[in-house]
Amino acid sequence: MDYIHLRDMQFYGYHGVLVEETKLGQRFRATVSLAVNIQKAGLSDNLDDTISYVGVYDICKEIMEGKPFQLIEAVAESIATRILERYHNQVLGVKVEVIKPDPPIPGHYNEVAVEITRGRYYE
Protein backbone atom coordinates (compact mmCIF):
# COMPACT_ATOMS: atom_id res chain seq x y z
CA MET A 1 0.00 0.00 0.00
CA ASP A 2 1.15 3.51 -0.79
CA TYR A 3 0.43 6.63 1.23
CA ILE A 4 0.12 10.33 0.65
CA HIS A 5 0.64 12.42 3.79
CA LEU A 6 -0.22 16.05 4.42
CA ARG A 7 1.51 16.67 7.73
CA ASP A 8 1.04 19.36 10.32
CA MET A 9 -1.31 21.66 8.40
CA GLN A 10 -2.08 24.71 10.52
CA PHE A 11 -5.40 26.53 10.80
CA TYR A 12 -7.30 28.96 12.99
CA GLY A 13 -10.81 27.91 13.93
CA TYR A 14 -13.64 28.31 16.42
CA HIS A 15 -14.25 24.72 17.45
CA GLY A 16 -14.89 23.91 21.08
CA VAL A 17 -17.41 23.56 23.85
CA LEU A 18 -16.42 26.58 25.92
CA VAL A 19 -17.69 30.05 25.05
CA GLU A 20 -14.13 31.41 24.90
CA GLU A 21 -13.23 28.88 22.21
CA THR A 22 -16.17 29.78 20.01
CA LYS A 23 -15.68 33.54 20.39
CA LEU A 24 -11.90 33.94 20.42
CA GLY A 25 -10.97 30.90 18.36
CA GLN A 26 -7.66 29.09 18.55
CA ARG A 27 -4.95 27.35 16.59
CA PHE A 28 -5.46 23.83 15.28
CA ARG A 29 -3.22 21.43 13.40
CA ALA A 30 -4.16 18.48 11.24
CA THR A 31 -2.36 15.59 9.60
CA VAL A 32 -4.05 13.53 6.91
CA SER A 33 -2.76 10.25 5.47
CA LEU A 34 -4.36 8.67 2.42
CA ALA A 35 -4.03 4.96 1.65
CA VAL A 36 -3.80 4.86 -2.16
CA ASN A 37 -2.11 3.14 -5.04
CA ILE A 38 0.19 5.72 -6.61
CA GLN A 39 2.26 3.40 -8.76
CA LYS A 40 0.65 4.70 -11.98
CA ALA A 41 1.54 8.28 -11.03
CA GLY A 42 5.06 7.23 -10.11
CA LEU A 43 5.53 5.68 -13.54
CA SER A 44 3.74 8.34 -15.60
CA ASP A 45 4.84 11.47 -13.68
CA ASN A 46 1.37 12.84 -14.48
CA LEU A 47 -0.75 14.74 -11.95
CA ASP A 48 -3.93 13.22 -13.42
CA ASP A 49 -2.79 9.81 -12.12
CA THR A 50 -2.69 10.83 -8.46
CA ILE A 51 -4.59 12.88 -5.91
CA SER A 52 -4.00 16.61 -5.83
CA TYR A 53 -2.50 17.68 -2.52
CA VAL A 54 -4.16 21.05 -3.09
CA GLY A 55 -7.60 19.42 -3.25
CA VAL A 56 -7.06 17.58 0.02
CA TYR A 57 -5.66 20.69 1.70
CA ASP A 58 -8.64 22.73 0.51
CA ILE A 59 -11.05 20.22 2.08
CA CYS A 60 -9.17 20.43 5.38
CA LYS A 61 -9.02 24.23 5.30
CA GLU A 62 -12.72 24.58 4.52
CA ILE A 63 -13.68 22.37 7.46
CA MET A 64 -11.07 23.58 9.93
CA GLU A 65 -11.74 27.26 9.26
CA GLY A 66 -15.46 26.89 8.54
CA LYS A 67 -18.56 26.09 10.56
CA PRO A 68 -17.61 25.50 14.18
CA PHE A 69 -17.99 22.08 15.75
CA GLN A 70 -18.06 21.47 19.48
CA LEU A 71 -15.75 18.46 19.30
CA ILE A 72 -12.53 17.88 17.40
CA GLU A 73 -13.86 14.35 16.95
CA ALA A 74 -16.55 15.83 14.70
CA VAL A 75 -13.97 17.91 12.83
CA ALA A 76 -11.91 14.78 12.08
CA GLU A 77 -14.99 12.82 11.02
CA SER A 78 -16.08 15.58 8.66
CA ILE A 79 -12.64 15.74 7.02
CA ALA A 80 -12.47 11.96 6.57
CA THR A 81 -16.00 11.78 5.16
CA ARG A 82 -15.44 14.59 2.68
CA ILE A 83 -12.14 13.12 1.42
CA LEU A 84 -13.67 9.67 0.97
CA GLU A 85 -16.65 11.15 -0.87
CA ARG A 86 -14.54 13.27 -3.21
CA TYR A 87 -11.87 10.67 -3.96
CA HIS A 88 -13.92 7.48 -3.55
CA ASN A 89 -12.40 5.87 -6.67
CA GLN A 90 -8.83 6.46 -5.55
CA VAL A 91 -8.61 6.53 -1.74
CA LEU A 92 -8.83 3.17 -0.01
CA GLY A 93 -8.58 4.68 3.45
CA VAL A 94 -7.89 7.90 5.27
CA LYS A 95 -6.35 8.65 8.64
CA VAL A 96 -7.06 12.07 10.13
CA GLU A 97 -5.42 13.55 13.21
CA VAL A 98 -6.77 16.84 14.57
CA ILE A 99 -4.63 18.54 17.19
CA LYS A 100 -5.64 21.27 19.61
CA PRO A 101 -2.30 22.63 20.86
CA ASP A 102 -3.69 25.07 23.43
CA PRO A 103 -6.97 23.76 24.87
CA PRO A 104 -8.30 25.82 27.77
CA ILE A 105 -7.82 23.14 30.40
CA PRO A 106 -5.52 23.31 33.41
CA GLY A 107 -2.45 21.15 33.68
CA HIS A 108 0.85 20.47 31.96
CA TYR A 109 0.67 18.72 28.59
CA ASN A 110 1.90 19.28 25.08
CA GLU A 111 -1.44 19.11 23.24
CA VAL A 112 -4.65 17.14 22.89
CA ALA A 113 -5.56 15.28 19.72
CA VAL A 114 -7.89 12.76 18.16
CA GLU A 115 -6.99 10.35 15.40
CA ILE A 116 -9.48 8.41 13.31
CA THR A 117 -9.19 5.98 10.43
CA ARG A 118 -11.93 5.38 7.89
CA GLY A 119 -12.35 3.52 4.62
CA ARG A 120 -11.98 0.10 3.09
CA TYR A 121 -8.27 -0.25 3.78
CA TYR A 122 -8.57 0.41 7.50
CA GLU A 123 -11.65 -1.71 8.18
Please list, in sequence order, all residues whose beta carbon lies within 8 angstroms of the beta carbon of residue 12, skipping any fewer than 6 positions away.
25, 26, 27, 28, 65
Q: Considering only CA atoms, which of 121, 114, 100, 113 is closest in space to residue 34?
A: 121
Please list, in sequence order, all residues whose beta carbon lies within 8 angstroms of the beta carbon of residue 15, skipping any fewer than 6 positions away.
21, 22, 28, 68, 69, 70, 71, 72, 75, 100
Q: Check if 23 is active-site.
A: no
Active-site residue, selected from the candidate residues 23, 61, 67, 100 = 100
Q: Looking at 4-107, list the stretches that DSSP marks H as alpha helix, in order from N- to C-terminal side.
A: 19-24, 39-44, 53-64, 72-86
Query: Annotated catalytic sites, by residue?
Result: 100
